[in-house]
Amino acid sequence: MKYYSTRDNKLRISAAEAIKMGLSRDGGLLTPCEIPQIDEAFLKKLLPMRYQDRSAAVMGLYLEDYSPRELTAFAENAYGPDKYDSSAVAPVRTVDGRTHCLELWHGPTSAFKDMALQMLPQLLSAALRKTGEEKTVCILVATSGDTGKAAMEGFADVPQTKILVFYPKDGVSAIQELQMVTQAGDNVGVCAVVGNFDDAQTGVKRIFSDAAMRETLEGRGYFLSSANSINWGRILPQVVYYISAYCDLVRDGKISMGDKVNFCVPTGNFGDILAAYYAQRMGLPVGRLICASNCNDVLTDFLRTGVYDRNRPFHTTMSPSMDILISSNLERLLFDLSGQDDAPVKEYMAQLAQSGRYEVSGAVREKLRSLFWGGFCGEEDTAATIARYYRDHRYLIDTHTAVAVQVMEQYRRATGDETVTVFVSTASPYKFCNHVLTAIGETPESQGVELIGQLQSATGVAAPRRLAELKGKERRFDRCTEKGGMDGVVLSFLS
């Protein structure tokens, strides 16, 4: 299978080349030239499998230049018991007869980003071998909270790689920041950016498309790649867990094979819900994709009107991984809904860069409405949902998961749709102790990692081991830059 760019549908490169590049040189996102199809027979084969084997089977449909043996070994390394505290890897928890939760935070950094970022370093290392690359890859990452730590955890001390993470100063939780600035590894770097996530992400994309910067780095023996969800090697492992969740529901008798299931996904950069869309495009029986935003509701408005407009106030919220107004992965969806025509996509992206706004065609707007439903959840409702789920279900959820729950309930009230629905839980509540404690009626007695013990004592819910181990760790990184200085940070990091 070959890959092309959302801004150049004549490009043809291999899967290994796509993963190595991360972002197309034209600024577009690399995407498969065809979507492989699955049927009931394929799903039935997956039913008795472990998550690791399901992962190898699904990814093998897209990665034809990787052998089944390689993918199986990668999955064993990525999702083994030394990394995950659940043998199911991505367990499905039943809330009631028509509501289930897909828990994606049982990995080493307690966030859903682990599901892809324990796999991507192995895919990328293999891609370097397959393409005969001799230069060292410099992986640039912009993070809204979770990607940075998960990427560094995955790439720490991986040969032929260096990784530099930019995060918004004062725009992540105290524990998210501590996870990043204490990261071990001789090949890692971290820098705060004065601004928000969109500033960090825009800076990284600008560096990628800067020909002079690429030439300078190549002269030093480096080339750039990405661990953000602009890299196809990030999206593909996420497709797996939607298919796996469906198989678990069938296996456990919660639904019958062929029954449709809705997925409600909290998202800011649109990567996580895009993976669900690709699973649906492959033939997974999915009804509606419910896109949950916090009060940075640019995606909600877009899905309802077909107008994407980032010209609005930016809100710093208790669900910081969703504090995003430029949703990069939307470009892949627009490309697919436009019949893989790069011309309108290039025009939309040019308008976004110039004016911060674009409006899709009527045909694309109707497709969006038929596939997606968008809603958003404010701060008060987020806290109230955490409290209610803890009170009614004895289920402790984080701020992002609460947004998904609340928007799922909005959708049901608005549509009357009784379809079995899976909401996606993207982070451990222990990454946001202060907000979770306050929501359940407790007064935080300290801050940051010190609150982990208080939340555990108050609820009896065990904290993830690696988060508890953050206490007392020494900060390794304290650099901060204005957004215009990111180029200099990269050059200094690689000097």
pLDDT given for residue 352 in this prediction: 96
Give me the helices (H) in 182-225, please. 197-208, 211-219
pLDDT given for residue 184 in this prediction: 95
pLDDT given for residue 123 in this prediction: 97
Distance, in Å, from the CA atom of 152 to the CA atom of 171, rounded to the nearest integer, reads 19
Backbone phi, psi, residue 467, to 5°: -70, -40
Confidence of residue 230 (pLDDT cuts 50, 70, 90): confident
- Choose the catalytic residue: 113, 149, 162, 346: 113
* Range 400-418 average pLDDT: 98
Name the token pair of 95. Answer: 């809330």
Residue 361 has pLDDT above 90, yes or no: yes
pLDDT in tens, 126-162: 999 999 999 999 999 999 888 999 999 999 999 999 9
Residue 209 has pLDDT above 90, yes or no: no
pLDDT given for residue 459 in this prediction: 97
Distance, in Å, from the CA atom of 350 to the CA atom of 297, rounded to the nearest integer, reads 22
* Nearest Cα residue to 394 out of 328, 303, 320, 458: 458
Distance, in Å, from the CA atom of 157 to the CA atom of 144, rounded to the nearest integer, reads 23
Q: Are 51 and 79 in contact (CB under 8 A)?
A: yes
Distance, in Å, from the CA atom of 253 to the CA atom of 9, rounded to the nearest integer, reads 43
Burial class (CB in 10 A: 0-12, 13-18, 19+), 138: buried
pLDDT in tens, 414-438: 999 999 999 999 999 999 999 999 9
113 given a catalytic annotation: yes
* Nearest Cα residue to 329 out of 197, 234, 222: 234
pLDDT given for residue 25 in this prediction: 87
Amino acid at 148: G
| DSSP structure string for 416-437 | -----EEEEE-B-GGGGHHHHH
Q: Within its chain, how far is the Cα of 122 from the centroid?
A: 18
Distance set, CA 282 to CA 49, 58, 75 (Å): 19, 10, 21
Q: Are 15 and 233 in contact (CB under 8 A)?
A: no
Average pLDDT, the chain: 96
Distance, in Å, from the CA atom of 103 to the CA atom of 97, rounded to the nearest integer, reads 17
Count helices and strands in the chain by DSSP H and E runs: 22, 16
Reported residue count of the chain is 495
Q: Are 493 and 218 in contact (CB under 8 A)?
A: no
pLDDT in tens, 374-394: 999 999 999 999 999 999 999
Backbone phi, psi, residue 304, to 5°: -90, -30
Cβ neighbours of residue 156 closer than 8 Å, sequence gap 6 or more: 163, 183, 184, 185, 187, 188
pLDDT given for residue 145 in this prediction: 83
pLDDT in tens, 464-484: 999 999 988 999 999 999 999
Kindly report the number of other CB atoms within 10 A of residue 445's CB atom: 10
Residue 215 has pLDDT above 90, yes or no: yes
Confidence of residue 285 (pLDDT cuts 50, 70, 90): very high
Confidence of residue 228 (pLDDT cuts 50, 70, 90): confident
**pTM, full prediction:** 0.95
Q: Within its chain, how far is the Cα of 417 from the centroid?
A: 27
* Nearest Cα residue to 33 out of 12, 60, 61, 55: 12
Confidence of residue 120 (pLDDT cuts 50, 70, 90): very high
Half-sphere exposure in the Cβ direction for 46 (13 Å, CA)? 27
Distance, in Å, from the CA atom of 451 to the CA atom of 471, rounded to the nearest integer, reads 10
Residue 316 has pLDDT above 90, yes or no: yes
Name the token pair of 470. Answer: 């953050």
Distance, in Å, from the CA atom of 243 to the CA atom of 251, rounded to the nearest integer, reads 12
Q: Can you name the residues that pair with 241 across neighbouring β-strands?
A: none
**Percent of the chain having pLDDT more than 90?**
95
Distance, in Å, from the CA atom of 349 to the CA atom of 209, rounded to the nearest integer, reads 14
pLDDT given for residue 384 in this prediction: 98
Q: Are 325 and 301 in contact (CB under 8 A)?
A: no
* Range 164-178 average pLDDT: 94
* Nearest Cα residue to 59 out of 81, 38, 44: 38
Residue 443 has pLDDT above 90, yes or no: yes
